[in-house]
A and B are shown apart, each in its own frame.
Chain A
Amino acid sequence: MKSDAMTDEHVEPYAQDFRAYCIGGLLALVLTALAFGLVIFEILPYFERLIALAVLAVTQIVVHFRYFLHIGWHSHRDDLQLVLFTSLILFLMVGGTIWILSNLHERMM
């Protein structure tokens, strides 16, 4: 238990870690508020609004990964590559499903 003690050398990393969560939380709040604001106040024409919402969501996901999950370039293992590879798989599965099923829907009409 002695290694748990709050010593002087921990003070600076503590401030650093604390700041990361604060920045992440603040950015996430702002991005969420912007996304809801876009829809509630009907800012931007319809199509641009959807694009803006998607961009805000992707930005917020990156913020969460960076500041809450601490995924970065300095990891010992290939955590970032795992995330990027999973994203690729997800993109193929989701994009492919939407593409194929909407195409099928058009043909059935």
Chain B
Amino acid sequence: MKRQVVLHPGLNLGSADEYSHAQSEPVIFGFWVFLMADLVLFAILFATYASMSVQGQAGGPSPTDVFDLPSAFIETMLLLSSSITFGMASLALKYKADRQHLVFWLVLTFCLGAGFIGMEVRDFWIMTQQGAVPQRSGFLSAFYMLVATHGIHVTAGLCWMIVMLVQLLVLGRTTQVKLRLMRLALFWHMLDIVWVCIFTFVYLFGVAL
């Protein structure tokens, strides 16, 4: 089995589109460096949350009081399946000559992502109704800061997805559009990795405590 040279993270176009493949390395490497820097932002928010979640409750509600585990599970499943459907979109981008497969998987990914954001906003709404507002305690400030930053990233990804769908319909499958979609794929998969940390270290640790 001969192995293609892997130029960058994410699915490489390889022999499916030699020209775009050759163009891809510098732009995607640059985006990869941005993603690693973005992880530093999340790491600091995680560190703040870890310090605040136990010691900063200020007599207010504890994680066990306010977290809704079934809801977090549904959100996790929505985001995870959106990652898988984006993988299918990447495959369609690489191997299918038509736009329909790609558009179908992107729209499906968008719906799953939008469902995730909807569930998250619903969670926040229920929490604020219970009096668990950001200004109540250090724990809640850190919680909203961390989870909402992730949510804003996902929302930005959804906007990016709409822009890419328009570009796909207007410009077609040009090299530029392909490279942008490949960067969006990296962004989306990275947000799923951040969510793995959130559901483990925020929700599951919080309820297990």
Please give the residue numbers on chain A whose beta carbons come within 8 Å of chain B beta carbons, in ascending order: 1, 3-6, 9-10, 13-14, 17-18, 21, 24-25, 28-29, 32, 35-36, 38-40, 46, 49-50, 53-54, 56-57, 60-61, 64-65, 68-72, 74-77, 79, 82-83, 86, 89-90, 93-94, 97-98, 101-102, 105
Contacts and interface: CB of A to CB of B under 8 A. Distances in A.
B189 A4 contact: no
B6 interface: yes
A54 B91 contact: no
B47 A64 contact: no
Interface residues of B, number: 60
B130 interface: no
Contacts, number: 158
B169 interface: no
A89 B10 contact: no
Given A57-B200, A93-B43, A77 B8 contact: yes
B199 A21 contact: no
Majority SS at the chain A contact face? helix
Nearest to B73: A36
Contacts of B114: none
A9 B80 contact: no
B135 interface: no
Contacts of A70: 6, 9-12
B111 interface: no
Contacts of B3: 74
B33 A82 contact: yes
Nearest to A79: B9
Given A57-B197, A77-B25, A86 B39 contact: yes
Given A36-B69, A57-B197, A93-B47, A82 B208 contact: no
Contacts of A82: 32-33, 36
A32 B80 contact: yes
Nearest to B189: A68
B208 A64 contact: no
B150 interface: no
10 contacts: A13-B16, A17-B91, A28-B80, A38-B204, A50-B205, A61-B193, A64-B83, A70-B10, A74-B3, A90-B39
B201 interface: yes
A32 to B, nearest CB: 6
Interface string B8-40: 111110111111000001000100110010011
Interface string B40-60: 100110111011000100000
